[in-house]
């Protein structure tokens, strides 16, 4: 059982480039979320989805787009990368059944030069 899979694990971009971070889960979870982790700031919610076709903004959505065309996949797009987006990105999924906690992927470490 793979759980939450994120690709790539590492990426270096130049300012202005675009990129899509991939996230897939095989647990049939309704909820999926993207967080970014920065030193001394914990994890902050970027975007989230409560089901296929439904997305909403979190705390720090600017510069990022998401879509949820299937239950399994929740890609995060950087349209024009900026150095301030250098961070570690985590995808998480959960279900509302039995109040189960969120499961996290291993993260994507992204550097913008």
Partner 1 sequence: GEDVEQSLFLSVREGDSSVINCTYTDSSSTYLYWYKQEPGAGLQLLTYIFSNMDMKQDQRLTVLLNKKDKHLSLRIADTQTGDSAIYFCAESPLTSGTYKYIFGTGTRLKVLA
Binding site for partner 1 (CB under 8 A): 31, 33, 35, 40-45, 48, 50, 58, 90, 92, 94, 96, 99, 101-107
Q: How far is the CB of 20 from partner 1 (least distance, A)?
A: 19
Contact 6, 21 (CB under 8 A): yes
**CA-to-CA distance for 79 and 76, rounded, in angstroms?**
10
Q: Which is nearer to partner 1, 77 or 103 (CB)?
A: 103
Q: How far is the CB of 106 from partner 1 (least distance, A)?
A: 4
Q: Which is nearer to partner 1, 15 or 26 (CB)?
A: 26
Q: How far is the CB of 82 from partner 1 (least distance, A)?
A: 23
Give the CA distances from residue 45 to residues 1, 107, 110, in Å, rounded to whole numbers and listed in that order: 26, 14, 16
**CA-to-CA distance for 86 and 73, rounded, in angstroms?**
23
Q: Which is nearer to partner 1, 43 or 52 (CB)?
A: 43
Q: How far is the CB of 70 from partner 1 (least distance, A)?
A: 18
By C-alpha distance, which of 26, 20, 22 is closest to 7?
22
Q: Which is nearer to partner 1, 105 or 112 (CB)?
A: 105
């Amino acid at each position: 059982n793979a759980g939450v899979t994120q690709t790539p694990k590492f990426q270096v971009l130049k300012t202005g480039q675009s990129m899509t971070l991939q996230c897939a889960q095989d647990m049939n979870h309704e909820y999926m979320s993207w967080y970014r982790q920065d030193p001394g700031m914990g994890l902050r919610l970027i975007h989230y989805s409560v089901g296929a076709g439904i997305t909403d903004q979190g705390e720090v959505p600017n510069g990022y787009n998401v879509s949820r065309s299937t239950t399994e996949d929740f890609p995060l797009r950087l349209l024009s990368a900026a150095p301030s987006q250098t961070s570690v990105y985590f995808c998480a999924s959960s279900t509302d059944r039995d109040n189960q906690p969120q499961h996290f992927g291993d993260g994507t470490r992204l550097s913008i030069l």
